[in-house]
Amino acid sequence: MRNDILKLVQIQIVFIVLFAFFKFIRPPVLGGDYPEWVNIMLLSLPNLFEGIIGVLMLTGIGLYLNINVFNPKKQIRLRTIHITALILAGIYVITQEFKLHNLGGNNVFDKNDVIFSFVGLTIGYSIVLHVPPTGNKVKY
């Protein structure tokens, strides 16, 4: 199972780098004369990455707790870990978009950000479903 967590961390690092890259290129691109769809993508992509990263991170935490904290007889099923991670990440990113909290920074509501957040959550959930468990300590 430790390999499962490492796989998720490696994938997460890729999306963190992409998140940082798109945040970095924002100012010069937004100041340029680019089509509107480029501006929308540039402004909303961090939301997509945030959804993916949230699901991956919370799944990794869930796996870690399941292996190292919970009694083997009381471990949680992988499916439950995946769904719980998706729900918690979804609550965070969507409530942030609707300004119910401001933990992620100075947010401005944009329907495209909500759409990109949902897509990111879906991609994150798909990733954790397609990273097959390597250990057999936890029931699926």
Half-sphere exposure of 21 (CA within 13 A, CB side): 7
Q: Is 56 exposed, middle or buried (0-12, 13-18, 19+ CB in 10 A)?
A: buried
Tens digit of each residue's pLDDT, the chain (140 residues): 667 788 888 999 999 999 999 988 888 888 888 899 998 999 899 999 999 999 999 999 998 888 888 888 888 888 999 999 999 999 999 998 887 777 666 677 789 999 999 999 999 999 999 886 554 455 54
pTM of the model: 0.86
What is the DSSP annotation of 38-52?
HHHHHHHHHHHHHHH
The total of other beta-carbon atoms located within 10 Å of residue 61's CB is 15
**69 close to 31: Cβ distance less than 8 angstroms:** no
CA distance 29 to 26: 5
